[in-house]
C-alpha cells in the first residue's frame, strides 16, 4: 500500500493511554483507529500498543480475539510500536513475567518486567535518542528494560542521567540500561512518550509506517 495520504495507525484500545497516543500520532500526520477486534487489526497500516499492565493486556487481547491476529500480522510485517507494557507485549522473551504470560512477540529481545522497581521507582530522565538533535524527556512508570538484544535489533536509547529518581538506589541502577529499540518496522520504548507533549518518537513511528508501505 502506498501512502500519498496519511497512513491509518491503530491503537490497541484494551487498556492505557489510548487517547494520548492517538493525539500524538495525529500530530505526527497519521489517521488513527481504536483497535479491539480482528476486523480492525486487518484495516490498519501500523499498530501502537500502549502501556498499562502486560498481564492484563495479554488476557484482554485473548478475550477480545485479537491476540493471534495481531501476533500473525506483526510477524507478517505490520509495523508495531509498543510503550512500556506494550514493549513487553512485543518481546519474544520476557523475564519476571507471570507463569504462562503470552506476548505478541516479534522483537528479538529479552525484556525484564518491573526492572527499575515498583511504582515508587517511577522516574524521569533526559535521553539521547538516535537521530534526535536534542534530548527527549522521558517518563518511566514501573518500567521494563531491555536486557538482551538480538543481532538485528538497534539500540535507540539508553538511560544516561536520571533526574527525579524517588529512590536513589533504583536510579543509580538505571544508568546505562537500554530503554528504546528498533528492529525493522518494530519500535519499543520502556517509557511513555505519549504524556510529555513531545511528538518525536511518534513521528519516528509514523515515518517507519510510511517507509514500510512505500
Ligand atoms: N509494569 C507493567 C507491566 O509489567 C508495565 C507498566 C507500564 O506500562 N507503565 O506490564
Q: Where are the domains of the chain?
A: 8-212
CA distance 25 to 23: 6
Q: Which three cell numbers stand for residue 214?
A: 512505500
Q: Are 129 and 136 in contact (CB under 8 A)?
A: yes
The confidence score (pLDDT) of residue 214 equals 47
| Residue 92 clears pLDDT 60, i.e. is over it | yes
Cα 164 to Cα 178: distance, rounded to the nearest angstrom: 18
CA 180 from chain centre, in angstroms, equals 8
Across the range 40-60, mean pLDDT stands at 97
Residue 116 — very low, low, confident or very high, per pLDDT cuts 50/70/90?
A: confident
* Tens-place pLDDT, residues 6-44: 999 999 999 999 999 999 999 999 999 999 999 999 999
The verdict on the CB of residue 85 being under 6 Å from ligand 1 is yes
| Residue 117 beta carbon below 6 angstroms from any ligand 1 atom | no
How confident is the model at residue 172, as a pLDDT? Answer: 64
Burial of 98 (0-12, 13-18, 19+ CB in 10 A): exposed
Beta strand residue intervals within 18-158, DSSP E: 31-35, 46-49, 80-83, 91-95, 107-112, 123-127, 136-140, 145-149, 154-158
β-strand partners of 182: 154, 187
Q: Is the Cβ–Cβ distance between 83 and 101 less than 8 Å?
A: no
Whether residue 178 has its Cβ less than 6 Å from ligand 1: no
Topology (CATH) of 8-212: Rossmann fold (3.40.50)
Residue 170 has pLDDT above 80, yes or no: no
Interval 173-198: pLDDT, tens: 788 999 999 999 999 999 999 999 99
Q: pTM of the full predicted structure?
A: 0.94
For the CA of 84, the nearest atom of ligand 1: 8
CB 25 within 8 Å of CB 58: no
CA 53 / ligand 1 centre spacing (Å): 5
Amino acid at each position: 500500500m502506498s501512502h500519498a495520504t496519511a497512513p491509518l495507525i491503530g491503537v490497541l484500545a484494551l487498556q492505557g493511554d489510548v487517547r494520548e497516543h492517538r493525539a500524538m500520532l495525529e500530530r505526527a500526520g497519521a489517521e488513527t483507529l481504536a483497535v479491539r477486534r480482528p476486523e480492525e487489526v486487518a484495516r490498519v497500516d501500523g499498530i501502537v500498543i500502549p502501556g498499562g499492565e502486560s498481564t492484563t493486556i495479554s488476557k484482554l487481547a485473548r478475550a477480545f480475539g485479537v491476540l493471534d491476529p495481531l501476533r500473525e500480522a506483526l510477524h507478517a510485517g505490520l509495523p508495531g510500536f509498543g510503550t512500556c507494557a506494550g514493549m513487553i507485549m512485543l518481546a519474544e522473551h520476557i523475564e519476571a513475567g507471570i507463569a504462562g504470560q503470552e506476548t505478541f512477540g516479534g522483537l528479538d529481545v529479552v525484556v525484564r518486567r518491573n526492572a527499575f522497581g515498583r511504582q515508587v521507582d517511577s522516574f524521569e530522565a533526559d535521553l539521547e535518542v538516535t537521530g534526535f538533535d536534542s534530548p527527549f524527556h522521558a517518563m518511566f512508570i514501573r518500567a521494563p528494560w531491555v536486557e538482551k538484544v538480538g543481532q538485528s535489533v538497534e539500540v535507540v536509547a539508553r538511560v544516561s542521567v536520571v533526574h527525579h529518581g524517588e529512590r536513589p538506589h533504583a536510579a543509580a541502577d538505571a544508568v546505562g540500561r537500554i530503554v528504546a529499540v528498533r528492529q525493522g518496522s518494530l519500535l519499543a520504548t520502556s517509557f511513555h512518550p505519549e504524556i510529555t507533549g513531545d511528538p518525536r518518537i511518534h513521528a519516528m513511528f509514523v515515518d517507519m509506517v510510511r517507509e514500510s508501505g512505500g
